[in-house]
Structure 1
Amino acid sequence: MRTVEVFADVLCPFTHAGLRTLVDRRDRHGLTEPHLRIRAWPLELINGKPLDPHHVEAEISALRASVRPDLFAGFSVDAFPTTSMAAFAVTAAADRTGDSVLIEQVGLALRNAVFEEGLDIGRPEVVEEIAGRFGLQPLDAEATSTAVRADWDEGRTRGVVGSPHFFTEDGGSWFCPSLAISRDDVGNFVIAWKGDTEAFVDHVFG
Structure 2
Amino acid sequence: MRTVEVFADVLCPFAHVGLRTLIDRRSERGLTEPRLRIRAWPLEVINGKPLDPHHIGAEISALRASVRPDLFAGFSVDAFPSTSMAAFAVTAAADRAGDPVLVEEVGIALRNAVFEEGLDVGRPEVVEPIAGRFGLEPLDAEATSAAVHADWDEGRIRGVIGSPHFFTDDGGSWFCPGLNISRDDVGNFVIAWKQDTEAFVERVFG
TM-score by length of 2: 1.00
Gaps of 5+ in 1: none
| Aligned partner letter, 2:30 | G
Distance in 1 (CA, whole Å) between partners of 2:127 and 2:49 is 21
Q: Do residues 27 (structure 1) and 34 (structure 2) align?
A: no
DSSP 3-state at the match of 1:181: strand
Which residues in structure 2 correspond to 1:63-78 (within 5 Å)?
A: 63-78=63-78
For residue 44 of structure 2, what is the aligned residue in structure 1? Answer: 44
Deviation of 1:105 after TM superposition, in Å, equals: 0.1
Distance in 1 (CA, whole Å) between partners of 2:146 and 2:81 is 21
Distance in 2 (CA, whole Å) between partners of 1:196 and 1:144 is 36
Deviation of 1:152 after TM superposition, in Å, equals: 0.1
Distance in 2 (CA, whole Å) between partners of 1:163 and 1:38 is 11
| Aligned partner letter, 2:71 | L
For residue 120 of structure 2, what is the aligned residue in structure 1? Answer: 120
Distance in 2 (CA, whole Å) between partners of 1:25 and 1:159 is 26
For residue 193 of structure 2, what is the aligned residue in structure 1? Answer: 193
Cα distance per residue 1:110-167 (max 9 Å; x no partner): 0000000000000001100100000000000000000000000000000000000000
Distance in 1 (CA, whole Å) between partners of 2:158 and 2:47 is 19
DSSP 3-state at the match of 1:201: helix
Deviation of 1:194 after TM superposition, in Å, equals: 0.1
DSSP 3-state at the match of 1:96: helix
| Aligned partner letter, 2:13 | P
Distance in 1 (CA, whole Å) between partners of 2:20 and 2:92 is 20
DSSP 3-state at the match of 1:5: strand
DSSP 3-state at the match of 2:107: helix
Cα distance per residue 1:146-202 (max 9 Å; x no partner): 000000000000000000000011110000000000000000000000000000000
| Aligned partner letter, 1:205 | F
For residue 56 of structure 2, what is the aligned residue in structure 1? Answer: 56
For residue 84 of structure 2, what is the aligned residue in structure 1? Answer: 84
| Aligned partner letter, 2:23 | V
Alignment RMSD: 0.2
The share of aligned pairs that are identical, in percent, is: 86
DSSP 3-state at the match of 2:39: strand
Distance in 2 (CA, whole Å) between partners of 1:125 and 1:205 is 37
DSSP 3-state at the match of 1:27: helix
Gaps of 5+ in 2: none
Distance in 2 (CA, whole Å) between partners of 1:122 and 1:151 is 19
Aligned length: 206
Distance in 2 (CA, whole Å) between partners of 1:32 and 1:122 is 31
After superposing on structure 2, the runs of 4+ consecutive aligned residues of structure 1 that deviate more than 6 Å are: none
For residue 2 of structure 1, what is the aligned residue in structure 2? Answer: 2
DSSP 3-state at the match of 1:6: strand
For residue 176 of structure 1, what is the aligned residue in structure 2? Answer: 176
